[in-house]
Amino acid sequence: MKLQKVFLLLLVTSLFSCSQKPDDSNPELPNIILISADDLGWSDIGCYGSEVQTPNLDKLGEGGMRFTQFHNTSKCFPSRACLITGVYAQQSNYHKTHRNPITNAVTLGEVLRTAGYRTLWSGKHHGLENPIYRGFDRYYGLKDGACNYFNPGDQRPGEGAPARKGVPGNKTVRAWCIDSLMYTPYTPEEKDFYTTDYFTNYAVQWLEEYQNEEKPFFLYLAYTAPHDPLMAWPEDIARYKGKYDAGYQKIREARYKKQLEMGLIDERYKLSEPIYTSWNEMPEKEKSDEIKRMEVYAAMIDRLDQNIGRVLNTLKKTGKLDNTLILFVSDNGASAEVVRIEDDYGEIGTLTRWESLAGNWANVGNTPFRYYKNYSYEGGINTPLIAWWPGKIEAGTFSHFPGHFIDVMSTLVDLTGAKYPEELNGQKITPMQGQSLLPVFRGENPARKNPLFWEWRNGQAVCRDSWKMVRHGLDKPWDLYNLEADPVETENLAEQHPDKVNELISLFNSWKASLPDFETQ
């Protein structure tokens, strides 16, 4: 009898133990790398139509899945808030300013830790809190929005004064963090310092440091390139000498043709009416400066790609490449914003001059769409999304799933089995707002379950079932587009479909009414 009891106990224990182990259909958790560019236009990389040399991103795009209808919020910090929390910026207190703590929300780091991930963040934050205190084991980078690429801090011996945003005599000091330490200002000693390179230096260092850990890693690599100031290494700029002498129209038409030829877009994507200045009517000095701006901008994207190549090489060297999911996005469309600093001097692209891309080239950057950063039209909110995962995502595929940055949290929770909390440190957490992309990665064609919303300053939009209502100017009438037939938003159907306009207005107003009022909390 005792032997029978012992046998039964061993059997039950064995069965219980087996039930706790993942079965053969659930392989080991993948490593995850999320890469974000800053102010990168929809057509600014090779596999989305560009002439800029981006062989590493092209390898990921052509070897994975490229999305045509994935969206950010049209502005840096609310986009980044959506990306790392899985809720709308209006729900995390990041819809008006980045000088608030993340409220009623959790970060990807906090969530993925529950699945046993090593959490790493290198690059831009554009937020109030140091990521070390919001779920990340390591952090290196710019806590603010934009800085000088060669020197974010004070003037160094033997160099000119680094260009900084702000009024003369009161330049803005940018905060920089290395793990728990914060520097204001951060003046690097290294003369080879360039933000894109050094964000990668730390990321590569961590990948090598933790390569023998059994736990998987999550790396958020948040570059500032190609956000202004336009600054690049001379050898990178030289690669684009003469590339842009033909002007806006020739480059834009060449990108559009390439997009069609590669199958990224089809005949439904009409090339929108240009909103740039006539190249032939431009004074020669102005034309020369425009050429130089674009040469530097291209060089910054080139250097970004070179550094992504360094990450890929490190993954290969450490044996992690085949079990790593890589996602690449941009936080908004190419930017028409212009920063003027009176006491800047020197050549475009150098340490001492803050220069912006401006609207003419931004219109080219967002080919074939209209408008740019800060607009809720597709030129402001449609981001390239590359999803690469060898053996899991079929190479050379395109997805037209209408997605949003809020989907990233849902996707990674679905992928890893991480626990998304209802409450953290006594604070009620907003439920995830996104939809998992795993079915899309598997080649399925799911419908969008819930509508999508946008609001940033003068821009507002709502989209459901391919119908998108959008405006720029809170006192302006709404435009209505059917993105299935007209993804470039060229034919306003508001007058033909007033019932659809009213339906979407009601939907948008209901969403607005559901949002927390942080000003009264």
CA distances from 207 to 96, 109, 192, 317, 320 (A): 35, 16, 22, 10, 9
Average pLDDT (21-37) is: 73
Query: CA angle 41-85-67, nearest 5°?
Result: 35
The owner of tokens 């490229």 is 66
Average pLDDT (53-68) is: 98
Q: What is the pLDDT of residue 168?
A: 56
pLDDT classification of 11: cutoffs 50, 70, 90: very low
The DSSP secondary-structure symbol of 46 reads G
Amino acid at 274: P
Report pLDDT digits (tens) over 418-471.
Answer: 999 999 999 999 999 999 999 999 999 999 999 999 999 999 999 999 999 999
In three-state secondary structure terms, 181 is strand
Q: Please determine, for residue 369, whether its predicted confidence score (pLDDT) is greater than 70.
A: yes
Report pLDDT digits (tens) over 140-180.
Answer: 999 999 999 999 999 999 999 999 987 555 677 899 999 99
Query: Cβ of 514: how many Cβ atoms within 10 Å?
Result: 9
Strand 324-330 and strand 382-388: pairing?
antiparallel
Q: Mean pLDDT, the chain, as a whole number?
A: 94
Q: Among 416, 289, 508, which Cα is nearest to 30's?
A: 416
Q: Please determine, for residue 14, whether its predicted confidence score (pLDDT) is greater than 50.
A: no
pLDDT classification of 342: cutoffs 50, 70, 90: confident
Cα radius of gyration (the chain): 24
Residue 292: alpha-carbon gap to chain centroid: 26
Q: What is the pLDDT of residue 157?
A: 96
Distance CA 80, CA 86 (A): 10
Average pLDDT (256-261) is: 98
Distance CA 487, CA 490 (A): 8
Average pLDDT (408-420) is: 98
The owner of tokens 């004070």 is 154
Supply 489's token pair: 């938003």
Verify cis geometry, omega within 30 degrees of 0, for the bond prior to 274.
Answer: no
Query: Cβ of 203: how many Cβ atoms within 10 Å?
Result: 26
Q: What is the pLDDT of residue 166?
A: 73
Q: What is the pLDDT of residue 119?
A: 99
Q: Please determine, for residue 5, whether its predicted confidence score (pLDDT) is greater than 50.
A: no
Query: Cβ of 3: how many Cβ atoms within 10 Å?
Result: 7
Beta bridge pairs of residue 178: 140, 181
Strand 181-183 and strand 166-167: pairing?
unpaired
CA distances from 411 to 32, 50, 161, 216, 433 (A): 11, 29, 45, 16, 11
Burial class (CB in 10 A: 0-12, 13-18, 19+), 392: middle
Q: What is the pLDDT of residue 170?
A: 61
Q: How many residues in the chain?
A: 521
Query: Cβ of 424: how many Cβ atoms within 10 Å?
Result: 15
Q: Please determine, for residue 4, whether its predicted confidence score (pLDDT) is greater than 50.
A: no
Average pLDDT (249-275) is: 98
pTM: 0.94
The owner of tokens 């736990």 is 215
Instruction: Enumerate domains of the chain plus CATH numbers.
Output: 28-445 (3.40.720.10), 458-516 (3.30.1120.10)
Listed range (18-27, 85-94, 221-230) with the worst mean pLDDT: 18-27
Query: CA angle 170-171-175, nearest 5°?
Result: 125
What is the DSSP code string of 245-310? TT-HHHHHHHHHHHHHHTTSS-TTS--PPP-SPPSTTS-HHHHHHHHHHHHHHHHHHHHHHHHHHH
What is the DSSP code string of 329-386? EESSSPP------TT--S-TBSTT------HHHHHHHTTTSS--TT-SSHHHHEEEEE
End-to-end CA distance of the chain: 66
Report pLDDT digits (tens) over 480-494.
Answer: 999 999 999 999 999
Q: Among 146, 81, 95, 41, which Cα is nearest to 381's?
A: 41
Average pLDDT (75-100) is: 97
Distance CA 387, CA 64 (A): 6
With a pLDDT cut of 90, the percent of the chain lying above it is 91
Q: Please determine, for residue 263, whether its predicted confidence score (pLDDT) is greater than 60.
A: yes
Distance CA 444, CA 385 (A): 17
